[in-house]
Amino acid sequence: MWVAVDAMSGDYGPECIVEGAVLAVREYGLNVSIVGDEQELLDLLLKFEYDTEKIRVVHSSEIIGMNDSPSIAVRAMEDSSIVKAVRLVAEKECIGVFSPGNTGATMAAALLHLGRIPGVLRPPIAAPIPREEGLPVLLLDAGANVDCKPEYLAQFAVMGEIYSREVIGIKQPKVGILSNGEEDKKGNATSLKAFEILKRIPFNFIGNVEGRDLYGGGREVDVVVCDGYTGNIVLKATEGLAKSIFNVLKHSIRQSSLAQTGALLLKSTFNAVKKRLDYAEYGGALLLGVEGICMIGHGSSNAQAVKNAVRLISECAKHKINEQIGKKMAEFRSIMGDGIS
C-alpha cells in the first residue's frame, strides 16, 4: 500500500516533508510517494538513509499557494503537487493522500477527483482534540461545511463514531452535539432537529455537550459534532489557548530563579504535557466521506506530523473506514434523510 504525500505546499518547504516520509518508512515500513519538484526532492533524499524500494518521487511542476482560490487553482493548476497527489489516489496507485497545504484546495481536489462515498451528503473534517486524560476527542466538522442541515450533522456523527472506534481505538464512543447547554431543548433549530435524528440511531448518543466537555472538564464524550463554522472557531481557539498557556508559563518562569529551579525539576513533566498537546502527534485532520483517504495537515507540519499522518492513513485503510461509512450511510438512510428538507 502506497501513501501519497504533497511535499511542496507546507509552510517550511519540502525538507521536513521528505524527512517525515523517510521516518514513516523506517519506523512503520510503509511505502510513500512524494509529490513535487523531482530534482529538488531527489537531492533532499540523498541526505537520508532509507529503503529505496519504499519511496518514490512523482514530479509536479506547480504549487498551489495558501492564498490561491481553491476552486480556481485546482482546475487551472492540474500539475500542482496537491492535485497530482490526490489523483494518485483516484487512479488507485495510492490508498490515501496527505497535504499540509491550502485546506480548501485539498478539499476541492478530493471532491473533484475522488468524489463522495455513496450516500454521503457533505464530507466533514474530523480533528482530534487532546483532553486531560485518555485518548483524544474527535471534533467534526472542523471547517469544511460552514452552513449545515440537521441531516449533515447526523451523518457527521455516524462517520465520527466509526473513526473514533476503529482508528482512535475507543470501543463504544460517546457521541454528542455541541450546544449551549446539556438540556435536551438547548441549541439552535439545526442542532435540535439533529438531536431528534441521532436519538433514533443505534449507537451511544449522549445528547448535548458543552464546550468544556471537549477537554475533559465535564461530561465524558468522545465524538462532538457541530457545523464547520463553529468547529473551526473551536479548533483555532484551542490551538491559540494552548500556545498562550505555554508562553505565559515560560514568561513567569523567567521572572524568578526559584521558578527556574522548579522548572528544571519538572522538565520531564512539561515535556510530556507539551507532547500531549502537540498537533504533530495526531498527524492531521481527516476529510471523512470521500472515496479514498484524505488527510489535511497543519501548514507548519513538521517531520513528526508527516510521519504520523502517513501512519494514520495506513490505519484507516487497514480498518476499511470508507467501506464501513458506505454501509452505515445505506443502513441509516431512512433515519438520517437525504438532506433535501
CATH code, 1-120+289-319? 3.40.718.10
CB distance 14 to 35 below 8 Å: no
pLDDT at 238: 82
160 Cβ contact list (under 8 Å, min separation 6): 124, 126, 138, 140, 173, 175, 223, 225, 288
Give CA–CA dist 126/170, Å, rounded: 15
Give CA–CA dist 207/216, Å, rounded: 16
Give CA–CA dist 285/269, Å, rounded: 27
Domains 1-120+289-319 and 121-279 share a fold: yes
pLDDT at 272: 62
**Domain locations along the chain:** 1-120+289-319, 121-279
To the question of domain 121-279 being in CATH 3.90.480.20, the answer is no
Question: Please, what sign has the CA dihedral across residues 235, 133, 318, 171?
Answer: negative
What's the whole-model pTM score?
0.89
Per-position pLDDT tens, the chain of length 341: 899 999 998 888 899 999 999 999 999 999 999 999 999 999 999 999 989 999 999 999 999 988 889 889 999 999 999 999 999 999 999 999 999 988 999 999 999 999 999 999 999 999 998 887 788 899 999 999 999 999 999 999 999 999 999 999 999 999 999 999 888 889 999 999 999 999 999 999 999 999 888 887 778 999 999 999 999 999 888 888 777 776 777 777 777 777 677 767 666 766 666 665 555 666 789 999 999 999 999 888 899 999 999 999 999 999 999 999 999 999 988 888 776 55
CB distance 64 to 39 below 8 Å: no
pLDDT at 274: 60
Give CA–CA dist 324/318, Å, rounded: 12
pLDDT at 243: 75
Question: How many angstroms from the chain centroid is the CA of residue 204?
Answer: 22
